[in-house]
Chain A
Amino acid sequence: MDIPKDLKYTESDEWVRVEGDTGTTGITDYAQDQLSDIVYVEHVVGEGDSVDKGEAHSAVESVKAAADVYMPVSGKIAAINEDLEASPELVNTDPYGEAWMVKFEISDASELDDLMNADAYEKFCEEREH
């Protein structure tokens, strides 16, 4: 299981990459593996929307289930990855790279402190396996 060290993680299996005031988020390798083949990604927010931490920005649908994807921290949506609509399988092949879902301006950087680092997330995933 791939858990990049430079990212932060939520208990609902989203990752966030912080670059200055901008956050980029998507779902983790663990999440895509659990969902199996992703067949659809739908964004439920648009550019310019302010979305609170824990609110859904996208929904992913696999052959097994559908799941909402939540904002790891509050932010104002700067970009959405429209490529995923045509190529949802990117979520399976490159969850941390090409399958980023939304970019946003971070509203409150202190919320980042509530997230897990890679080690904590790895432990969190392992615990769920048992």
Chain B
Amino acid sequence: MAYIPHTDKDRQEMLAEIGVAGFDELYQDVPEDVRFPDLDLPESVSEMEVMEQLQALSEANLELGHASCFLGAGAYYHYVPSVVDHILRRNEFYTAYTPYQPEISQGTLQAIFEYQSLMCQLTGMDVSNASHYDGATALAEAVILALNTHRGKRSKVILSPAIHPQYRQVVRTYTQGMDLEIAGDEKCDNGPEDLIALLDDNTTLIAVQYPDFFGHIDDYTELGKAAEDVGALFCVVANPLALGLLKPPGEFGADVVVGEGQPLGIPLSYGGPYLGIFTTSDKYVRKMAGRLVGETVDTRGQRGYVLTLTPREQHIRREKATSNICTNQGLMALASVVYLSTMGKAGLRKVAELCYNKAHYAAEKIGQIDGFKVWNFKPFFHEFVISCPRPVAEINDELLDIDIIGGYDLGQDYPDMKDHMLVAVTEMVSVDEIDDFVAALEEVANA
């Protein structure tokens, strides 16, 4: 197709049509002194010089391969087998954007179908969509699904305070102006029993995290039953890697299971792109946002894949759609498929066990240091909270000097948890590194 730019005549006609004399007039809302700033750029340099400068810049970073990382809080440092990247970077996958004529992209559809199947197995749910941007937006979509299920007649959403603070913020951003009452996360120690007490017949959805933000593994069976009793939907925000070891939320009555797929073969990369997992039960499939790939047979009886529900947002439903988010993280979903296929059920469980065991080793050692205490009062997975004798930010500064990335400062989000550090331990740290971390904490405590 030829690219035909607008001619000057076209431009003049368009300006005349909207009643504007010239292009300058279109900028009149931009303050004059910043309208056409002098960019003051340096002289251009050669590619070789640019590479040198960028190299120097990148060397200023502390790369995780040269550090010990005890920071998690929603994004986790796990080993990514090299085969993941090899498959991702095949240009059939890497260069393809949304398949607008989807059925011709059988490879992409099959990858998404495999992804959906694996997510259903992990979470114990009936259906998965083709993914969302990240865990936080997936949770917000769960709220939207619940509101639509109750046709807007219920306006209360209960969020556990132990859901990632940023996820709760995203839910509030998504739902602003909808006149919802978002309750439950006012106090940081509201447990399942406190949340159950908040349930009423105006509650559209109750959401908890599993393991929760503080690492706790809770049994939510009672909470699921209580939600069902009042007709509220029960949503679990799960860490998919932990599901390699833990009971799937589908087995304790979850209506929607969402989560951040980053632990499944996706590098930390400054916070994205990540992968929003969204699974639910059959009865909510029509209310689910996003696209859904189905398997079928063609006219010759051969297996083929189709986009089963995508027309809802983009073509048929449009203004009637319950959500207009239909973008999926195709490449990241593929990464998780390759990761899970490579690890297998036993491999995934092994990773989860390594995380669990190393975290418990670290917690035991840290608990023995004077001035530090393990705060957790329930079983935990690969993350736990320690109370510290000094501000967490100060401790982390000192740890960074010896290439240790300390844990998350909980005081930032939970005023009651000043001087509390959330420590994550994955398979990527060795026992020696944990011992060094413990020794370093002991030293900073006495400094």
Contacts and interface: CB of A to CB of B under 8 A. Distances in A.
Contacts of B312: 61, 66
Contacts of B316: 61, 64-66
Given A44-B151, A46-B151, A59 B320 contact: yes
A30 interface: no
A123 B320 CA distance: 31
A61 B151 contact: no
Interface in B310-337: 312, 316-317, 320
* Majority-rule SS of A interface residues: strand
Interface residues on B, range: under 10
Nearest to A43: B151
A59 B312 CA distance: 12
A65 B320 CA distance: 11
A42 B317 contact: no
A37 interface: no
Given A44-B151, A46-B151, A66 B320 contact: yes
A59 B316 CA distance: 12
A68 interface: yes
B247 interface: no
Interface string B129-168: 0000000000000000000000101000000000000000
Nearest to A68: B320
A27 to B, nearest CB: 16
Interface of B is mostly: helix
Nearest to A45: B151
A40 interface: yes
A120 B317 CA distance: 31
B95 to A, nearest CB: 31
A40 B312 CA distance: 11
Interface residues of A, number: 11
Q: Which of B151, B153, B312 has the most CB of A within 10 A?
A: B151
B126 to A, nearest CB: 15
Nearest to B283: A85
A10 B434 CA distance: 75
Contacts of B320: 59, 66, 68
A40 B151 contact: no
B345 interface: no
Interface string B266-293: 0000000000000000000010000000
Interface in A43-97: 44-46, 59, 61, 64-66, 68
Nearest to A65: B316
Contacts of B151: 44-46
B102 to A, nearest CB: 15
Contacts of A46: 151, 153
A40 B317 contact: no
A64 B316 CA distance: 7
Contacts of A44: 151
Contacts of A65: 316
A42 to B, nearest CB: 7
Nearest to A62: B316
Contact of B317 (A45, A61, A64): A61
Contacts of A42: 286
Contacts of B153: 46
B89 to A, nearest CB: 37
A40 to B, nearest CB: 6
Interface in B413-437: none
Nearest to B321: A66
A86 B80 CA distance: 43
Contacts of A59: 320
A40 B283 CA distance: 12
Interface string A12-30: 0000000000000000000
B137 to A, nearest CB: 24
A65 B312 CA distance: 9
A57 B320 CA distance: 14
Contacts of B317: 61, 66
Contacts of A66: 312, 316-317, 320
A117 B135 CA distance: 55
Contacts of A64: 316
Given A40-B286, A66-B320, 4 more contacts: A42-B286, A66-B316, A66-B317, A68-B320
List the 10 closest pairs (A to B, CB-CB), nearest first: A66-B316, A66-B317, A66-B320, A65-B316, A40-B286, A44-B151, A59-B320, A61-B316, A42-B286, A46-B151
17 contacts: A40-B286, A42-B286, A44-B151, A45-B151, A46-B151, A46-B153, A59-B320, A61-B312, A61-B316, A61-B317, A64-B316, A65-B316, A66-B312, A66-B316, A66-B317, A66-B320, A68-B320
